[in-house]
Amino acid sequence: MMKFGGWGDPGKAYDLSHRPNLWPFVRAQSGLGDQIIAPSRRAAEMTVPAPRLDAGFMDAVTAALGAAHVSTATEARLLHTYGKSYRDLLRARTGTPARSPDAVLFPANRSEVEAILRAAVQYGVQVVPFGGGTNICGGVEPDPTRPGMCVTVSLRRMKRVLVLDRVARTARIEAGALGPELEAELNARGFSLGHFPDSFEFSTLGGWLATRSAGMQSDAYGKIEDMVVSLTLCTPGGTLVTSNVPRSATGPDLSQIAVGSEGTLGLITEAVMRVHPLGEREYRGILVPGFDQGINLVRELTHRGALPTTTRLSNQQETALGFAMKPKSHGAGAFAAKAFKAYLRHVKRFPFDNACLMIVGFEAATHRELAEKRRRTLAICREFGAVNLGTSVGASWFAGKYDYPYLRDVVMDRGGMVDVVETAATWDVLPGLYHELKAALHAHLRRGEFPGYVGCHLSHSYPAGACLYFTFAALAEVGRQLPQYIEAKKLIFELLLKHGATLTHHHAVGYELLPWMSRHLGETGLQMLRGLKHSVDPQNLCNPGKLIPGLTPAQDLYFPPAT
Ligand SMILES: Cc1cc2nc3c(=O)[nH]c(=O)nc-3n(C[C@H](O)[C@H](O)[C@H](O)COP(=O)(O)OP(=O)(O)OC[C@H]3O[C@@H](n4cnc5c(N)ncnc54)[C@H](O)[C@@H]3O)c2cc1C
């Protein structure tokens, strides 16, 4: 399991020692000192409220799973209490949880999951599905407003690749497999799923499906919903097994109804996923003369069918952070970089003040195909005044891509507030939305001479538009950390609705977006979601208080009026 009050591997931390420019950059944005003032605690140092155990339910699940796979241990309950949002980590660091699961269950197969749901229906027990626990939307927290027992069901024992069909290029995979587990098995047989979210190391196939996740190679392989062929969903009302066919016109696609259901309809136990053969790969850095020009450039790549496998365009602040994170370089490499920069500035008149880094990644079956893709992309980049920085910038970004989340812990340890928000909108909306949201966040985060950090990147592009992903950070207001965060969230979601953008492109709803969901979906949309839920889970047992507003009073607890 991951750290309790932080991100990732308990044995790993973000190393500041060989990055001399990083902390001066963070301090200049936020005023944050470099001393640890708010360290994280380990789960072993904390307590939880006594479990509310229902004897009949416990007997039934112990008989079905075996006592070894039914845990009421404090550590197991704590480690399955929260996800990994700023709100989650703040609470994990500072107090006893108001509500933890009363027991954590570890089924090994579909029939054990079905036995759990039968017992839940019989005894009225709340059931929270749990994959890797990496969500940042409050997706795995028990509903504190519901009386009675709550169990969390971890799918982590169900992690095998069951079948690889080389002819159909699909794999049947159990839902509890973590990214590295399923990729290792597929890679050993020459294939890849091609789904690499930034949380890849600690998130699961079931979690990806349940949240409509998007990975960094989505521009070529699609999002998780594009990869799923069929799936098995165990609900309190019975089990749905969708057909393993490439497409069907037999009414609405029920697999796609399960995708994004966030555990509110039941548990996904396995899925048949499209896979593709491993091939050549290359990452490059491109310097773009400004974020607005970059948006136009990515749109053009999309419309001319020249979008690489990965396209990630950072704004100026995120670009500056990326360069500040680089280890100090010496010798010939440093000299060559300086000379190249001087050439761009003085000979090419490149506007460095607005420079934005764009990472592009190419994948193809053969080296020749890759070269052709690269040629087409770079030709369009040149039309927009962008400069190819070569593969070393791309390779170093690729090597460190899973390390960024560890930096959040470093900032929180030193009294900082860090959070993210992502959305998608049509091309005409994106520039205005970007500038207004950035300005509003700075106005909220600014403390005297410190403007606050508002990094942003554009990624996951479509013919109609793209995703914008903001990371914002500032000095946390001591004693007001949660209100400060809630105020930021409120201003963000109001602005997204005002611009007609989605509330989330890939992080899902959980309880964090509930107050805005009615306005986003409209009354008819809400009725349809409620009806769907009621059709398989009339007692509202599966992950109550998530995704669908108005079914429990939980949402009012998370967004109290500002103090
Ligand atoms: C540092 C960081 C980086 C991230 N980067 C990305 C990114 O690049 N792209 C992206 O899409 N997301 C990203 N996320 C968000 C998160 O990783 C995704 O939402 C991910 O899909 C969650 O998977 P999980 O296995 O951890 O699910 P969990 O967090 O355990 O659960 C998420 C939701 O799915 C439900 N659920 C889990 N498993 C099942 C199942 N088998 N059946 C039914 N319901 C289930 C849970 O009840 C919950 O509602 C990031 C999060 C962090 C903290």
CATH (residue range 22-156): 3.30.43.10
SS3 category, 225: helix
The type of residue at 499 is H
What order of strands is seen across the sheet that includes strand 310-314? 387-390, 280-288, 356-364, 310-314, 453-461, 465-475, 416-426
Q: How far is the CA of 262 from the centre of ligand 1 (A)?
A: 9
> What is the predicted pLDDT for the residue at 351?
83
Give the DSSP letter of residue 345: I
Question: 89 phi and psi, to 5 degrees?
Answer: -65, -35
Active site residue 404: no
| Catalytic residue, candidates 14, 86, 469, 511 | 469
How far is the centre of ligand 1, averaged over its atoms, from the C-alpha of 307 (Å)? 26
- Which atom number of ligand 1 is nearest to the Cα of residue 258? 43
Q: Is 264 left (phi over 0), alpha (psi -120 to 50) or beta?
A: alpha
pLDDT at position 556, please?
Answer: 85
Distance 81 CA to ligand 1 centre (A): 14
- Most ligand 1 atoms within 8 A of CB, residue of 2, 134, 420 to mutate: 134
Nearest-angstrom CA–CA distance, 150 and 143: 8
Contact 84, 135 (CB under 8 A): yes
Query: Residues with beta carbon inside 6 Å of ligand 1?
Result: 7, 83-84, 128-136, 139-140, 155, 175, 197-199, 203-204, 206-208, 210-211, 213-214, 262-263, 267-268, 405, 506-508, 543, 546
Strands 356-364 and 310-314, how do they pair? antiparallel
Residue at token pair 């294939």: 191
pLDDT, mean of each 10-residue run, the chain (563 residues): 92 91 96 90 85 98 98 96 96 88 98 98 98 98 95 98 98 98 98 98 98 96 97 98 97 98 98 97 96 98 96 97 86 73 78 92 95 97 96 94 94 96 98 98 96 98 98 95 95 98 98 96 97 98 97 87 59
Residue type for position 379: A
**What is the pTM (predicted TM-score) of this model?**
0.97
The ranges assigned to domains in the chain are 22-156, 280-401
Give pLDDT, residue 390.
95
**Residue 214 CA to ligand 1 centre (angstroms):** 10
Beta strands per DSSP E along 77-118: 103-105
Give the 3-state secondary structure of residue 116: helix
Domain 280-401 -> CATH class:
alpha beta
Q: What is the pLDDT, as a whole number, of residue 39? A: 83
In 427-506, where do the E strands start and end? 453-461, 465-475
The DSSP code for 101 is -
* Cα–Cα distance for residue pair 296/465, rounded to 1 Å: 11
Q: Are strands 453-461 and 387-390 parallel, antiparallel or unpaired?
A: unpaired
Count the residues in the chain: 563
CA distance 29 to 535: 51
Q: Tell me the CA end-to-end span of the chain in Å, nearest whole number.
A: 35
Give the pLDDT score at 562: 57
pLDDT digits (tens, 9 = 90+) for 73-92: 999 999 999 999 999 999 99
Rounded Cα distance, 404 and 15, in Å:
11
pLDDT of residue 328: 78
Cα distance between residue 278 and residue 264, in whole Å: 35
Q: How far does Cα 79 stand from its chain's mean position? A: 19
Contact 206, 131 (CB under 8 A): yes
Q: Supply φ then ψ for residue 421, to 5 degrees.
A: -150, 145
Of the residues 158, 211, 506, which should be mutated to test ligand 1's pocket, given the most ligand atoms within 8 Å of the CB? 211
d(CA 156, CA 4): 17
Q: Distance between CA 187 and CA 320 in Å, rounded? A: 35
Q: Give the per-residue pLDDT at 458.
A: 98
Question: Ligand 1, atom 15: nearest CA belongs to which residue?
Answer: 135
